Amino acid sequence: MQLSSAILVTLATAASAQDYLATIYPSRGYSGPSLRIYDEECVRLRQPFRSRIGSIKITEDTYCEFYTTNSCLLSLGWYYGNFQSLSIDAPIGSVRCGFKDEGN
């Protein structure tokens, strides 16, 4: 019984570790501090992410949208896939990631 409990805890931990949809970095090449973004959460960005997003890893069938405001208003654009070198030429206030719709 204890062995099966340990297996369930391990599986639950592995599943929860993959709940994030994207990881953003202030530097190119996926380097420097990182921030994970979760499903449909509007995330108010703080430094160093407010002034620059240098790279982003986005999971399959997922999008991320960056905004100029702190409350996910005034879009700067949608991104799909991974970008080892990314340049958004505007102050970034927030980000939201979610699953792409069927057919998009």
Sequence spans of domains, the chain: 20-99
User: With 70 as the cut, is the pLDDT of residue 13 above it?
Assistant: no
User: With 90 as the cut, is the pLDDT of residue 5 above it?
Assistant: no
Cα 51 to Cα 60: distance, rounded to the nearest angstrom: 26
Cα 56 to Cα 77: distance, rounded to the nearest angstrom: 14
The model's pTM is: 0.77
> What is the average per-residue pLDDT within 25-44?
94
Per-residue pLDDT reduced to its tens digit, 35-91: 999 988 899 999 999 988 999 999 999 999 999 999 999 999 999 999 999 888 789
From the CA atom positions of the chain, what is the Rg in Å? Answer: 16
Tell the residue number behind the tokens 């005034």, with chain if given. Answer: 74
pLDDT of residue 102: 54
Q: Which CATH architecture group holds 20-99?
A: Sandwich (2.60)
